[in-house]
A and B are shown apart, each in its own frame.
Chain A
């Protein structure tokens, strides 16, 4: 077995060196396509991270009409308290909302507001962001209710943007993935042609089919692996850069909400490396089936 592995290493390095230009092209294509795949994975993971953070911060707010009676307010409050989809409800008086508006609005805008024109509000945390919709449905048009709101639309828009970005990257990546498999196939094909005479002799003296195939399979696998390791390195560097920048960002910006944990990053890298080996194996398997007559 030791001599077999020596043989495989010797044959593979000879082949790779003989076809070095196409080999390098194949490896770089693998790298670019897997970098994009990894980027799309990271984007997707980041989007779901951001969603979780959003969910933790999402409030559903039932704004009461400024002239709502205290019975009406109490009725809504007790209804919300018995509602299973929400928890931690609290009431903000007109004066509290007025104070909040002071922080949110510019001085000129704020100067025209009067506390008695401001609606009071009941704010709850939904168990699931989509539960906010149930609250909105339930309380719209109830006596004393001005309007129930939840910041779901903004969230939806952002998620949509991320999803579109993710899918576009993924489509480009899969086109490139196919091309890199074809490039690997081509280098293996060239290696097979370059070794035609050797293969003929091998068959004649009784080398087994696997013995003949393994160096070629290994060659494809190696190209995929090297490309994916390079892609992994780039992704890691990109993440590191993102992390180092994000220390200056406010915690509620999308950029910092999307940050990946180390484990998530490791997971993405593993997927990328695995895909690299799969591409390499597929490329060489097809080349062997089509061009190596054993």
Chain B
């Protein structure tokens, strides 16, 4: 589903954010991406979203070489990807329903599809009763659920999450985690960058660790990190 082959990413200011990273993620896998701040997790996800291009190496996603994908095809690639961020990125002037509907609206889905899909996905994230509320009227956990609903409403093949629980307290994070787990169970590949040690240790899923741009660990049924790795933990 996702394959990186000797991928290196250098930013314009000379920072090497990813250095010669190769890995493969199968369809339906759930992968934690861990590493201290600045280790390159966000860069990794941005490459998968094709918000950035690597200077070397190739990236395949859903059978396509996305590095050499022509620019006009990028939107069509992104329709197969859902993404969720630490800061939710909801539109403040739209209701819960409108925020989720927006994702379908702007890719030209007809009203009938919107009217059947949005309530379904709101039901999945448990927010049917708040469909007409504005984001400001929701808790952080609820806002993240809306963001997940928006990412998932178009049934993407891959869901990318960049520290989705970074702003939430542990109890709420558990809820978000189990929601992502449920989404993964529908066959969606999930890649989640996180700092949340408790979560990672409890789930015992595949863990990929980055350190200053290097892939230093790729472990099935892994844990957050070796206990001496203090910088990453809070």
Contacts and interface: CB of A to CB of B under 8 A. Distances in A.
By DSSP majority rule, is chain B's interface helix, strand, loop, or mixed?
mixed
Contacts of B106: 7, 201-202, 205, 207, 211-212
A205 B107 CA distance: 8
B121 interface: no
A201 B91 contact: yes
Contacts of A211: 106-108
Contact of B83 (A3, A198, A204, A209): A204
B75 A4 contact: no
Contact of A205 (B72, B78, B110): B78
Chain B CB within 10 A, most for which of A202, A204, A207, A209: A204
A205 B154 contact: yes
Q: Which of B49, B106, B108, B154 has the largest count of A CB atoms less than 10 A from its CB?
A: B106
B49 A204 contact: yes
B3 interface: no
A192 to B, nearest CB: 15
B105 A7 contact: yes
Interface of A: 3-4, 7, 197-198, 200-209, 211-212
From DSSP, what is the main secondary structure of chain A's interface residues?
A: helix
Contacts of A204: 49, 78, 83, 89
Contacts, number: 55
Number of contact residues on B: which range applies?
Answer: 20 to 34
Contacts of A7: 105-106
Nearest to B114: A3
Contacts of B72: 208-209
Contacts of A201: 89, 91, 102-103, 106, 150
Nearest to A10: B105
B155 to A, nearest CB: 12
Nearest to A211: B106
Given A4-B108, A205-B79, A205-B150, 7 more contacts: A202-B106, A204-B78, A204-B89, A205-B78, A205-B102, A206-B79, A208-B75
Contacts of B221: none
B106 to A, nearest CB: 4
Nearest to A197: B91
A203 B77 CA distance: 11
Interface in B67-92: 72, 75-79, 81, 83, 89, 91
Nearest to A202: B106
B111 interface: yes
20 contacts: A3-B105, A3-B108, A3-B109, A4-B108, A197-B91, A198-B102, A201-B102, A201-B106, A202-B102, A203-B75, A204-B49, A206-B75, A206-B76, A206-B78, A206-B81, A206-B107, A207-B75, A208-B72, A209-B75, A211-B108
